[in-house]
Structure 1
Amino acid sequence: MKHVKPHEKWSISRRSFAKGSILALAGSWLRCRLRGEPLKKPDRASRFINPFIGASTSELLGAGKTFPGSTTPFGMVQLSPDTITGGLKGPGNPFEGDNGPGYSYEHTTIEGFSFTHMSGVGWYGDFGNLQVMPTTGPMKLDSGRINHPDKGWRSTYSHANESAEANYYAVMLEKYGIRAELTAAPRAGMLRFSYPKDETARIQLNLARRIGGTSTRQSVKVVGDRAIEGWMRCPSAGGGWGNGEGNVSYTIYFHMEFSRPLEHYGVWKIDIPDNAFPVQQGLATSYFYTDEYQDLVTRGEVLRGCNEYEGNHIGFFAEFPSLFIDEKVVVKSGISFVSVDGARKNLAREIPGWDFEETRRKGVALWDDALSAIQIEGALEFESKIFYTALYHSMIDPRVISDIDGNYVGGDGKIHTATRYTPRTIFSGWDVYRGEFPLLTLLNATIVNDEINSLVNLAESTGKGYLERWEIMNSYSGCMDGDPATSVILDAYSKGITGFDIDQAYAAARQTAAGPNGFTNRPENSFYIEHGYVPDQPSSPGVSWTLDNSYFDWCMASLALALGKKDDAQMFAGRAANYKNIYDPSVGSMRGKNAKGDWIPWLGKTTFGQGCTESNPLQQTWFVPHDVFGLIELMGGGESFSEQLEAFFEKTPSSFGWNEYYNHANEPVHHTPYLFVYAGKPWLTQKWVRRILTNAYHNDVNGICGNDDVGQMSAWYVLSSMGFYPVCPGEGIYILGSPLFPKVRLQLDKKWYKEATFAITAENQAPNHPYIQSAKLNGKPLSRAWIRHSEIAAGGTLEFVMGAAPNKEWATRSEDLPPRASL
């Protein structure tokens, strides 16, 4: 989406990846595992990770909005460089727009390295806490404005002296001649700084820093001769997610240790007025670029030797004037969203020593374990990098939010201890229910199970009773449309992923959709129930809300039917057809209505808005995933449907970036290339899927043609390159597209699928061979362009024969079409 506005042991547990012949590699993998030896680097999928893919906020570079720093799969820590704090364009800040990741490739200075980030998001972003910056020379008390880097501690850098790999980032800070290196554990991180000779080495901690805002209160305390600890309070009043509109409030705690004794240290403070951060129009972050703030910086106070301090805009520094030749200063810190004690335990468990390379190797091993779920063969080097980086990006969130002892802060603000599951946060629901969570149901269903438990528990602990659509740090941010958690629950439950209380989950999902006592996830819910559509208004774009509600009502009906709740199933099944109420045959498109039932003014199919969230009527018209055949009937039958759909694609720019037609940069259209199969023209699905795979993804900073949105854009690539995609999550059906690699081996989650593996082969695979000539499933001819989840879950082999010209006879008979979604 393009926004405008517990225990969990850190160990290698499941898999390791090896590339080459599947049988030979499986043997190599097993031998290494039995001996307890790490796989050699050439055998590791992690070597293909390129964290710079998508690492820009610039529309010219794709605006993937990923971060290039170090992290582990679904870990709490994302230790990454910061080039910008955020805010609107203005004096001292030439960059305007969403700066959610804190880093953007086109920026030329670095202001520090912080421990928490978000991947692929806009809307001002959040986190960016515990920012560390190595410096030398006269001490500055602020990072300084981008247009005047000499006035602060920020430093220029060059991409020629910057590198990033799995769980590793390094850069030369040109201003100081300091080389900075970063690596991470799930709940802790480590930084290694190499200083020039004959310089007093200094490390500065900006405790107030927060992406998209500021922490409003901080505390730091020296404990022992090599450690400090403290906290940063980050309420929504200080900005953050959506510049405060996301209602995100949290406190982050830390315990930090230094490789050298703390002999020269202190605190600095800047007296910021309590009302300095009005959360409106981006002012929470723009304030730091004003002359008023810079004037306060010049009057900041340095408290040398201060052992403990609490304030509203403070930092900590440590100086090391007598380093040995080639000696490096290493800093490591655990973080927690529960307590300082939790941060201390997290660090002690996950990075007990000072071996930077060992910490790096452990993190890489975790990535090899996670990525080994999919093995590809026959890919070119750049294709492997695109694929495994996409898989990497789809495994950053939802991140663990509990400490190593299982403690976490619940929706009631109290500390709880998790026992049945690992609490998680960052549920970008409107995006990830479409492809990322269906992908995780195959590769790591435990994560899906954790997320469902987390959302259901949040609904109960807050007293709200309903499921949040875009959760971050227990916040009901209300971002985007619909009831995506309901889709995730149905999709998991229908696949046998049942490690949650289904009755409790159903109750929360039902309240989300039905909204008793006024509590609901939907605007104008009573009107929708009575009239069958959501009237268009700025707070609730009627077209998008009506279409989303119809699909999620289908999810509710399906879930109710599976649980034997026949009355509910009947009620929701009726509402699932509400999409028909906003189709206007006079314009051949979905169209918004006002509360009186009149059509809203028509500005044409391709004009954005008109009741559509981040889209236009042409793009939204295709969103009826639960009843594609019903949509085909509305649009005049299969031939008319496919003609309109093909025109939709033919008018799309070759880059597939932000545009009026097939806008791959945003999620509402992600399923549409696969709709040709329903009209009996699967070769057109094959044609367009292959073009999107080839043209919309690249092995460079503009490698994602829009916001990655917490992994959904990347998950689309992973699924589609394997050869299938779920048009309707929860239905248990995948539509076949155009496999990109000669061989793929999918290792299903062992806990839920009894160690099943599913192989996909593509004979005659080539860049100019996007079309399926024939297919076999487990050795038997397959005449349909779709496959059941149960067929993948059982394990086996799907074989394709590819060619340069379409086979218009394959999978085109009426009996070969996907089944109509039934209730």
Structure 2
Amino acid sequence: MTHPVDDIDPLIGALTTLPDTACGKTFPGPVLPFGLVQLSPDTISGGDHGSGYSADMDTIEGFSFTHLGGIGCYGDLGNLQVMPQTGLLITDRVEANSPYSNQVVKAGYYSVDLDRYQVRTELTAKERAGIIRFTYAAAGPARIKVDLARRVGFDGSHSVEQSVELVDDHTVEGWMRCDRSGGGWICGNGPEYTVFFSLRLSQPIAAFATWDGDDIRHDAARTTASAAAGFFLELDVSGPVLLKAGISYTSVEGARRNLAHDLPGWDFDEVAADARAAWAAVLEKVEIEGGTAEQRQIFRTALYHTMIEPRRSSDAGDDIGYERRTVFSGWDVFRAQLPLMTIIDEKVVTDQINTLLDLTASGRVKGLARWELLGVDTDTMVGDPAINIISEAVVKGICGFDVDTAYRFCREVALGPVARSNRNDLENWLSLGYSVDIGLSTTLENSYSDHALARFASVLGLDDDVRLLDASAQNYRNLFNPEAGWFRGRNADGSWMGFDEGCTESNPDQQGWFVPHDVAGLISLAGGEIAFIERLNAIFENTPPADLMKWNDFYNHSNEPVHQMAFMFTYAGAPWLTQKWSRYVCDHGYGTGPEGLGGNEDCGQMSAWYIFAAAGLYPVSPVDKQYILGSPIFDRTTFRTSRNTTFTITREGDGIYVAQARLNDHPTDRPWLTHEELIAGGNLHLTMSPTPTDWGTKHRPQAGDCHLPSGC
């Protein structure tokens, strides 16, 4: 019997090789929701292939227990790579790779035939451990090679020290240490970390050996500092061989405990069934009815992708009052992925915030991390996304953390003495009223963060801070160039930068729309509602037509600065254009198969945008607790909230335009919902039309109220 979970296709976006970075860079292997172990096949180790897997490559070099999915640029992790072999021992992973066939990819399960070695390989996972089943074509001697040096990143990335010990005839334990000298994240700008492992075989190990380059030894233990090192196990195969391993970022004991907790037995099929059930439960958080088979597959896979990061990083049995998390892609996920979690999984939000606060309190991070990876701020992208998510949580009543400490840390980042996240430009921000370093992007992002922090201060009754922060939230105005009629970066002497300066991964025609907290002010700067609508509409009209809206200079859905744009028409009294263009992006920005994402998944942000938009709403300014209404795809979408309520959006009639609406059975022509309305539970019923209507044109979204919510 088919189940909605069977619609999840982890191969959606699993490509790294399209031009202009317009590919998802996801991985297809099994993972549990927010799981520490992400066990997946590897097709490539080096270059700009952050996930280590690309569906268009025709060989597999192994199966590793850690991955980063959907990230841009050079990745990291890809540690503890396992590969079955027969015949001659080959330690080099590239020379030892194998063509493959009969690949099967499901939520929580992956299998493939390695044609070179005639071995069927199946993967499944628990939260902190994974299990592999090897079925060799013939009985007799066989081998499993484990690469301890392998690491995703630019060409030549590797762990810098490795240690391994044969504990008994079924067990091998050890660790791999990685630092910046070994490459990894963005050409060696990432964390220093150690992956500890405890690995067990279902059959006795007949022979054990290690290698360090070309040096092979049969010692029972070895520690090396090498760019090519690992061990191999020889077995007398008489049936399927099972290999299971727990990993930890703290100790071998932690890895051993994780393995014992997650995988005490050897029932592979039961583990795979449990993984499938875990993802089936996730789909109950946002249920859909109607739509096409393709739309349902895109939606359910998108929900899957929103619940992979931030992954657990603590060990089983750790008792610190919350679950440590890692992989905080802040610049991306503050826009939609974490706002989605404020509806359906508040624990993830509080865990993430507690983790960020702990990193700051411990001194491991100065200020608040912007793009955290394994306890280190990689200082990637711009802005202060931690302020955004902390402030949003507080105004929404999600306060399972020390609110006073959180405010203090946020204030120190925004106003000093700790430099804000753009590190070296606080002086310009405070004295000039704008940033110079990547100035346009930084200034607009920081303006939103100061608005968010002002809402936090308002909740706490800190009126002086509210006035101060509300004023600096208007700094975006200082980069509006009247002669150009739009935004430009600005130098410290007041002169204007060129069109191609001052932005990160965008241009002024894209970044300039990121004023989510004061769209009314942006409308005024743009010359009024008509001029605003015409300019915004032209961006969409000029976007090159393509099935997946690839990277371009207009509406570039492949990257985050534009993600709120389709929902901004409503602020100028044109909700029908929000309905038109948000549906257009749903239809043309997402698809099925490996090419189904037109840009990097970015740790759930690209998919969270689709979840919201396909449901018919979007949080343009998450901290203001409003969801601008769009054009729902499905006949029925039901959100099951963390407060044990349900909110259902239904539609009837043909077309993409809203003609009438009823909120909780009462007529409404207000084209937005509040967070309080959604989280309280209820229903929104929309009657659709094939042609634009004037529904919602009489109302303009207003700033949300900020009082002390219950729970804080």
Smaller-chain TM-score bracket: over 0.9
2:688 alignment partner AA: M
- Look up the SS of the partner of 1:50 in the other structure: coil
Q: What corresponds to 2:5 in structure 1?
A: 46
Cα-to-partner distance string for 1:231-271 (whole Å, 9 max, x where unaligned): 0001122111112123x11101000000110112211111x
Which of 350, 369, 386 is the matching residue for 1:468? Answer: 369
Q: What corresponds to 2:172 in structure 1?
A: 228
1:302 & 1:386 partners in 2: Cα distance?
Answer: 48
Q: What corresponds to 2:194 in structure 1?
A: 251
C-alpha displacement of 1:465 = 5.0
Superposition map of 1:784-803 within 5 A: 784-803=670-689
Q: What corresponds to 1:382 in structure 2?
A: 294
Q: What corresponds to 2:216 in structure 1?
A: 302
1:311 alignment partner AA: T
CA contact (8 A) 2:383 2:421 kept: no
1:640 & 1:490 partners in 2: Cα distance?
Answer: 33
Which of 417, 426, 430 is the matching residue for 2:327? Answer: 426
2:677 & 2:419 partners in 1: Cα distance?
Answer: 42
- Look up the SS of the partner of 1:516 in the other structure: coil
CA contact (8 A) 1:468 1:521 kept: no
Which of 116, 121, 129 is the matching residue for 2:79? Answer: 129
Which of 297, 308, 317 is the matching residue for 1:396? Answer: 308
Q: What corresponds to 2:709 in structure 1?
A: none
Q: What corresponds to 1:289 in structure 2?
A: none
Superposition map of 1:487-566 within 5 A: 487-516=388-417, 521-535=422-436, 540-566=437-463
2:196 & 2:4 partners in 1: Cα distance?
Answer: 34
Superposition map of 1:8-47 within 5 A: 41-42=1-2, 44-47=3-6
Cα-to-partner distance string for 1:90-120 (whole Å, 9 max, x where unaligned): xxxxxxxx21100011111110000000110
1:499 & 1:465 partners in 2: Cα distance?
Answer: 23
Which of 357, 360, 369 is the matching residue for 2:281? Answer: 369
1:188 & 1:797 partners in 2: Cα distance?
Answer: 41
- Look up the SS of the partner of 2:39 in the other structure: strand
Q: What corresponds to 1:184 in structure 2?
A: 125
- Look up the SS of the partner of 2:380 in the other structure: coil
2:261 alignment partner AA: R
* Cα distance, 1:463–1:251 mapped onto 2, change above 3 Å: closer
CA contact (8 A) 1:225 1:261 kept: yes
1:496 & 1:821 partners in 2: Cα distance?
Answer: 14
Superposition map of 1:756-771 within 5 A: 756-765=645-654, 769-771=655-657
Q: What corresponds to 1:719 in structure 2?
A: 612
- Look up the SS of the partner of 1:543 in the other structure: helix
Does residue 598 in structure 1 map to residue 548 in structure 2? no
* Cα distance, 1:704–1:464 mapped onto 2, change above 3 Å: closer
Deviation larger for 641-650 or 58-67: 58-67
Q: What corresponds to 2:233 in structure 1?
A: 318
CA contact (8 A) 1:693 1:721 kept: yes
Q: Which runs of 4+ in 1 moved over 6 A?
A: none
Q: What corresponds to 1:410 in structure 2?
A: none
Superposition map of 1:324-723 within 5 A: 324=238, 327-406=239-318, 418-462=319-363, 464=365, 466-516=367-417, 521-535=422-436, 540-600=437-497, 602-603=498-499, 609-655=500-546, 656-723=549-616
1:492 & 1:534 partners in 2: Cα distance?
Answer: 27
Q: What corresponds to 1:818 in structure 2?
A: 701
2:87 & 2:56 partners in 1: Cα distance?
Answer: 27
CA contact (8 A) 1:465 1:519 kept: no
* Cα distance, 1:444–1:518 mapped onto 2, change above 3 Å: closer
C-alpha displacement of 1:419 = 2.2
C-alpha displacement of 1:717 = 0.3
2:479 & 2:22 partners in 1: Cα distance?
Answer: 33
Q: TM-score, normalised by structure 2?
A: 0.96
C-alpha displacement of 1:391 = 0.3
1:62 & 1:480 partners in 2: Cα distance?
Answer: 18
1:744 & 1:235 partners in 2: Cα distance?
Answer: 45
C-alpha displacement of 1:379 = 2.8
Q: What corresponds to 2:33 in structure 1?
A: 73
Structure 2, unmatched stretches of 5+, are 707-712
CA contact (8 A) 2:310 2:326 kept: yes
2:626 & 2:638 partners in 1: Cα distance?
Answer: 19
- Look up the SS of the partner of 2:624 in the other structure: coil
CA contact (8 A) 1:777 1:798 kept: yes
- Look up the SS of the partner of 2:540 in the other structure: helix
Superposition map of 1:22-171 within 5 A: 41-42=1-2, 44-59=3-18, 62-87=22-47, 98-144=48-94, 152-158=95-101, 161-171=102-112
1:63 & 1:520 partners in 2: Cα distance?
Answer: 28
Does residue 779 in structure 1 map to residue 632 in structure 2? no
- Look up the SS of the partner of 1:194 in the other structure: strand
CA contact (8 A) 1:514 1:520 kept: no
CA contact (8 A) 2:166 2:208 kept: no
1:337 & 1:250 partners in 2: Cα distance?
Answer: 7
1:718 & 1:201 partners in 2: Cα distance?
Answer: 46
C-alpha displacement of 1:45 = 2.9
Cα-to-partner distance string for 1:486-534 (whole Å, 9 max, x where unaligned): 1101111111111010001111111111120557554310111111011
C-alpha displacement of 1:377 = 0.8
Residue identity over aligned pairs, in percent, reads: 46
- Look up the SS of the partner of 1:332 in the other structure: strand
* Cα distance, 1:380–1:518 mapped onto 2, change above 3 Å: closer
* Cα distance, 1:419–1:463 mapped onto 2, change above 3 Å: closer
Q: What corresponds to 2:135 in structure 1?
A: 194
1:62 & 1:331 partners in 2: Cα distance?
Answer: 36
- Look up the SS of the partner of 1:78 in the other structure: coil
2:444 alignment partner AA: L
- Look up the SS of the partner of 1:730 in the other structure: helix
What's the C-alpha RMSD, in Å, of the aligned pairs?
1.4
Q: What corresponds to 1:36 in structure 2?
A: none
CA contact (8 A) 1:588 1:635 kept: yes
1:507 & 1:465 partners in 2: Cα distance?
Answer: 13
2:340 & 2:463 partners in 1: Cα distance?
Answer: 30
The alignment covers a number of residue pairs equal to: 698
CA contact (8 A) 2:366 2:418 kept: no
1:820 & 1:318 partners in 2: Cα distance?
Answer: 63
C-alpha displacement of 1:463 = 6.0
- Look up the SS of the partner of 2:478 in the other structure: helix
Q: What corresponds to 1:28 in structure 2?
A: none
Q: What corresponds to 1:147 in structure 2?
A: none
2:83 alignment partner AA: M
- Look up the SS of the partner of 1:200 in the other structure: strand
2:421 & 2:701 partners in 1: Cα distance?
Answer: 33
- Look up the SS of the partner of 1:774 in the other structure: strand
Cα-to-partner distance string for 1:776-822 (whole Å, 9 max, x where unaligned): 10001110111101000110000001121111x21111xx2111467
* Cα distance, 1:119–1:520 mapped onto 2, change above 3 Å: closer
1:128 & 1:517 partners in 2: Cα distance?
Answer: 34
1:499 alignment partner AA: G
Does residue 203 in structure 1 map to residue 92 in structure 2? no
Cα-to-partner distance string for 1:329-384 (whole Å, 9 max, x where unaligned): 11000000111111111111111111100111111111112221111111322221
